A and B are shown apart, each in its own frame.
Chain A
Amino acid sequence: MHGLRRALAEPLVQFLLIGAVLFVGLSAVRAAQKPVVRIEAQDLNQLATYWEAQMQRPPNKVELAGIIRDRIDEELLAREALRLGLDKDDMIIRRRLAQKMSFATEDLAAAEEPTEAQLRAYFTQHADRYAAAAHVSFRQVFFSGDRPHGQAEQAARQALGMSGETKRDPSGDPFFFPLAYDGIATRDLERDYGQAFVQALERAPVGEWSGPVMSPYGWHLIEVTSRTPAPPTSFESVRDHVREAWIDERRTQANAEFMQSLRKRYKVIVAGVPEA
């Protein structure tokens, strides 16, 4: 008895004993806290449905067991990978997380409604975007780009010269598009004829044949018969467009600001680039 009491009084023995108790206790706790992998019924249903959609029939018992086994394997491997830190330095996982974050923050700025004054200021600032269309009436004569090398342009020049001498309308090749347009918006011509053609049309003199002008199809002589300049645009008629553009710009700005705020919260060091 005496010997035991003396031994218990020894600091080394005390230390070992306390250690042993702690070890047994912690092991028990750890066993009780063994991580649980739970596959919920909803998850299973979803997997089975997905399988069925791919295979066009419900899975049988064996296949269902296989689906469950695969799902458990996937979960265990994923958990273990996370525990070992395999998600670090993985480009795919990093991108996916970044995408999720940007998606989550995308609509942060969506709620703000602009004031009347803000909209009017925006409208004035971007007046060119809301300008109405100018209209033009014209006739044209066409020289096909399929004519051999350089001949279309040359034929157009000759026809223009002849027309000047004879005071009669020039003649050219049949053309797929109308040979006369009555009061068409110049911006509506741009899609089918290209910007260069429309610009030439806008500069062409009124009441006489001029050209030749190049298009995606060949060469044209044109006679502008009348022009109507663009009428002024009222703010009211485009208010909805202005509002959308304003909100869109604000959202882009808010996203940029969010990135800015993130930059402030981290110190970013790039190899080879001096620190800011």
Chain B
Amino acid sequence: MDRRPSRTAIRLTAAATLVGAVAAASAAPGQGPKPAAPLLAAGAAPPTQHLPGYNPDRNAYFGDLHVHTGLSFDAYIFNVRATPDDAYRFAKGEAIGHARGFKIRLAGGPLDFTAVTDHSEYMGAMREAADPNSPLSKEPIVDGLFSPDPKKIGEAFARVVAASHAGQMPASFSAPEVAGRAWTEVREAAARNYQPGKFTTFVGYEFTSAPDGRNLHRNVIFRSEKTPALPYTARMSANPEDLWRTMDAWRAKGVDVLAIPHNSNGSDGLMFEQTKRDGSPMDRAYAELRMRNEPLVEISQIKGTSEVHPSLSPNDEWANFEIMERYIGSNHPVTKFHGSYVRTALLDGILMREQKGFNPFKMGFISSTDTHNAAPGSAEETNYFSKVGRSDGLPVQRGSVPPDGARTWPADTPDSAHAATPYQAWGASGLAGVWAEQNDRESIFAALRRKETFATSGPRIRVRFFGGYDFPADIATRPDVVRTAYAKGVPMGGDLAPSSGQAPTFFVWAVRDPNSTYLQRAQIVKGWVENGQAREQVFDVACSDNLKLDKTTWRCPDNGASVNLATCEPDRFKGDVELKAVWRDPTFKPNQRAFYYVRVLENPSCRWSTWDALRNGTPPNPTLAKTIMERAWSSPIWYEPKS
């Protein structure tokens, strides 16, 4: 008997996924969508105040809070015609059509929650402009805007972005009745698809601000069906501070809402700049305004991971993960990494707290996809179709198979810094995880608000993280481990009480995704302020395979896991189902501000580009990583000394 009961399951899953993808791609008759899930009869719920699945110790729910449909101007230009309803159907595990004609479906099963977040700028306008009976269709800019030709699509996208930047988009594209129709559709789809206890929807939109092309995008998520009549868009003000003030005003009227910034990696230092947008110094009021409205940051998505950059954290051996070094929507290279990555922002935040008394960057983590295919959760390496419709729907368009049907790669194959399109540098990432009592809007929104959230690069890795001073020594083996951890400590996203000398203890517990590979190591990333300097260190705290942690280097020995690149079959018998650790910070000083977050690493597995190549029978693109180590990040726990 195998010590790993599920090796076979993994292989079967991978094979089934492969078959599924091939079948879906050919859209053969009889290969229909997964059986449609009938709506739950309302009477099926037990007659208690709790929903099915209620858990006082909280459940991990997975979702996507960054999803575009054909209502987004760019998605429509990319030939995406899917609606918010389609997006929710996809999230629930059903099959929908891709802009290239094939069927797409989640291989890993349904999500628990989703927000459709279409661009608020010109929302719904392109769909109306494509209708010859609409007055919008008569605008000169519409001519040639909706071609199925990828080259023309790229030109059309650039033309609209340029016109928008120059303030030359026709006013009719932002007319309240056009936006109103789209916004109504968004709200109604969220209401229609909400199944408390089973699947949660949120009304949302994307505020699309990018001064000089430097990305300041954020997603705005509403707690309930109470929303403003229309979104506040970046056309009204490109300054996020104006958005936050508007959100404050909404909240005063009972419309609860939060915003989640993303793609700081494409902001060229702007997302976490250390001044206000107008260049004036930050103050306490600014920090409070920001944190009241933006408790979270999207740390990873298809357009790259923004946790950490190798140049900022040279001692982090795992920092070089799905790094994307271009502006969003153009090929302009990013040159300012400070201000573009989350770990450095957290460090700047505690340093500002020390020097100025406020912290504008105290953020918890989520990931999401940013799909423009109305495909929430489409961050699966084995089932990847990227995210911009007809522009990157085929492997050859995203640089994973050789051009022009060749069987080998030309010697001058460009690397990601020189490729004509950015798609090969994009990653199949990510998912949002929350710890909530039950699957409904109230519980999940409350989790987002208190930052009891985690992020993954796609797999459904679950991670618990608690910090405290009074955990019992046997906490990791007690049957009531989670209840004890809540009772004696704070969960991810929380704040440790000031220490009277004793170092805090952290409890880390992670479990694998049954559809992905095994876990290799769990780490705690610590950032702190020492003598007025921001410092950081990555501590391995749990090793797989009973390997012994070296407590001088804080590194696990290599577990030797590898991948057979001819089959993408991972090494058997390496890695663990769960990783668990109780860790006392050996470098703790009661007077030093600090934050701690967990990073869990899987064994290596094939990157999406390698899966594409394998299916095509050609070698992987020599300029790309063949394997990656998928990961999960918990929100941080902060430590603040006695004032």
Q: Which residues of B contact A (CB under 8 A)?
A: 1, 3-6, 9-10, 27, 29, 32-33, 35-41, 44, 46, 52-53, 55, 57, 59, 101, 108-110, 143-144, 148, 154-155, 158-159, 161-163, 198, 212-213, 330-332, 404-405, 462, 464, 476-479, 481, 509, 511-512, 514, 576-578
How far does the alpha carbon of A147 sit from the alpha carbon of B1 in the complex, in Å? 13
Q: Do A183 and B148 have beta carbons less than 8 Å apart?
A: no
How far does the alpha carbon of A44 sit from the alpha carbon of B479 in the complex, in Å? 71
Interface string of A72-96 (1 = CB under 8 A from B): 0000000000000000000110000
Known: A49-B158, A50-B158, A144-B578. A218 touches B5 (CB 8 A): yes
The 29 sampled A-B contact pairs (Cβ below 8 Å) are A49-B155, A49-B162, A50-B154, A53-B159, A92-B404, A102-B101, A106-B101, A130-B35, A131-B35, A132-B38, A132-B40, A150-B3, A152-B5, A153-B1, A176-B509, A187-B37, A193-B514, A196-B9, A216-B5, A216-B9, A216-B577, A217-B512, A217-B514, A217-B577, A218-B577, A219-B5, A237-B41, A238-B36, A244-B36
Known: A145-B6, A183-B46. A150 touches B1 (CB 8 A): yes
How far does the alpha carbon of A179 sit from the alpha carbon of B479 in the complex, in Å? 10
In angstroms, how far is the closest chain A Cβ from the Cβ of B45? 9
How far does the alpha carbon of A271 sit from the alpha carbon of B344 in the complex, in Å? 64
Q: Do B5 and A215 have beta carbons less than 8 Å apart?
A: yes
Q: Do A145 and B4 have beta carbons less than 8 Å apart?
A: yes
Chain A residues whose C-beta falls within 8 Å of the C-beta of B405 in the assembled complex = 91-92
Q: Do A241 and B38 have beta carbons less than 8 Å apart?
A: yes
Within 8 A of B (CB), among A142-161: 144-153
Beyond A53-B159, A188-B53, A218-B577, list 19 extra A-B contacts (CB 8 Å). Answer: A49-B162, A52-B158, A56-B212, A56-B332, A92-B405, A132-B41, A144-B577, A146-B577, A149-B1, A149-B3, A178-B59, A188-B198, A194-B514, A215-B6, A217-B514, A217-B577, A231-B41, A241-B38, A245-B32
Chain A residues whose C-beta falls within 8 Å of the C-beta of B36 in the assembled complex = 129-130, 238, 241, 244-245
Chain A residues whose C-beta falls within 8 Å of the C-beta of B332 in the assembled complex = 56
Chain B residues whose C-beta falls within 8 Å of the C-beta of A176 in the assembled complex = 462, 464, 509, 511, 578
Q: Do B144 and A46 have beta carbons less than 8 Å apart?
A: yes
Q: Do B514 and A148 have beta carbons less than 8 Å apart?
A: no
Q: Do A194 and B9 have beta carbons less than 8 Å apart?
A: yes
Nearest residue (CB) in A for B103 is A248
Question: Within 8 Å of chain B (Cβ to Cβ): is A165?
Answer: no
Chain B residues whose C-beta falls within 8 Å of the C-beta of A27 in the assembled complex = none
In angstroms, how far is the closest chain B Cβ from the Cβ of A41? 11
Question: Within 8 Å of chain B (Cβ to Cβ): is A266?
Answer: no
In angstroms, how far is the closest chain B Cβ from the Cβ of A167? 20
In angstroms, how far is the closest chain A Cβ from the Cβ of B434? 15
Question: Within 8 Å of chain B (Cβ to Cβ): is A69?
Answer: no
Give 9 nearest A-B pairs by CB, closest first.
A216-B514, A191-B109, A53-B158, A129-B35, A241-B36, A149-B3, A216-B6, A176-B511, A214-B5
Question: Within 8 Å of chain B (Cβ to Cβ): is A15?
Answer: no
Question: Within 8 Å of chain B (Cβ to Cβ): is A174?
Answer: yes
Interface string of A221-264 (1 = CB under 8 A from B): 00000000001010001100100110011001100100000000
Q: Do A103 and B52 have beta carbons less than 8 Å apart?
A: no
How far does the alpha carbon of A245 sit from the alpha carbon of B5 in the complex, in Å? 37
How far does the alpha carbon of A196 sit from the alpha carbon of B13 in the complex, in Å? 12
Question: Within 8 Å of chain B (Cβ to Cβ): is A54?
Answer: yes
Chain A residues whose C-beta falls within 8 Å of the C-beta of B155 in the assembled complex = 46, 49-50
Question: Within 8 Å of chain B (Cβ to Cβ): is A33?
Answer: no
How far does the alpha carbon of A103 sit from the alpha carbon of B330 in the complex, in Å? 28
Q: Do B331 and A46 have beta carbons less than 8 Å apart?
A: no
In angstroms, how far is the closest chain A Cβ from the Cβ of B49? 13
Chain B residues whose C-beta falls within 8 Å of the C-beta of A145 in the assembled complex = 3-6, 577
Question: Within 8 Å of chain B (Cβ to Cβ): is A186?
Answer: no
Q: Do A190 and B109 have beta carbons less than 8 Å apart?
A: yes
In angstroms, how far is the closest chain A Cβ from the Cβ of B423? 15
How far does the alpha carbon of A237 sit from the alpha carbon of B44 in the complex, in Å? 14
In angstroms, how far is the closest chain A Cβ from the Cβ of B376? 15
How far does the alpha carbon of A132 sit from the alpha carbon of B263 in the complex, in Å? 41
Nearest residue (CB) in A for B93 is A191
Chain A residues whose C-beta falls within 8 Å of the C-beta of B1 in the assembled complex = 149-150, 153
Nearest residue (CB) in A for B479 is A174
Chain A residues whose C-beta falls within 8 Å of the C-beta of B162 in the assembled complex = 49, 52-53
How far does the alpha carbon of A131 sit from the alpha carbon of B40 in the complex, in Å? 11
Nearest residue (CB) in A for B157 is A53
Chain B residues whose C-beta falls within 8 Å of the C-beta of A219 in the assembled complex = 5
Interface string of A199-225 (1 = CB under 8 A from B): 000000000000000111111000000
Known: A231-B41, A249-B32. A171 touches B479 (CB 8 A): yes
Q: Do A146 and B110 have beta carbons less than 8 Å apart?
A: no
Chain B residues whose C-beta falls within 8 Å of the C-beta of A147 in the assembled complex = 3
Known: A145-B577, A182-B52, A190-B109. A174 touches B159 (CB 8 A): no
Q: Do B161 and A174 have beta carbons less than 8 Å apart?
A: no
In angstroms, how far is the closest chain A Cβ from the Cβ of B366? 20
Chain A residues whose C-beta falls within 8 Å of the C-beta of B514 in the assembled complex = 192-194, 215-217
How far does the alpha carbon of A231 sit from the alpha carbon of B39 in the complex, in Å? 12
Q: Do A252 and B27 have beta carbons less than 8 Å apart?
A: yes
Chain A residues whose C-beta falls within 8 Å of the C-beta of B464 in the assembled complex = 176
How far does the alpha carbon of A270 sit from the alpha carbon of B254 in the complex, in Å? 70
In angstroms, how far is the closest chain B Cβ from the Cβ of A43? 9
In angstroms, how far is the closest chain B Cβ from the Cβ of A224? 16
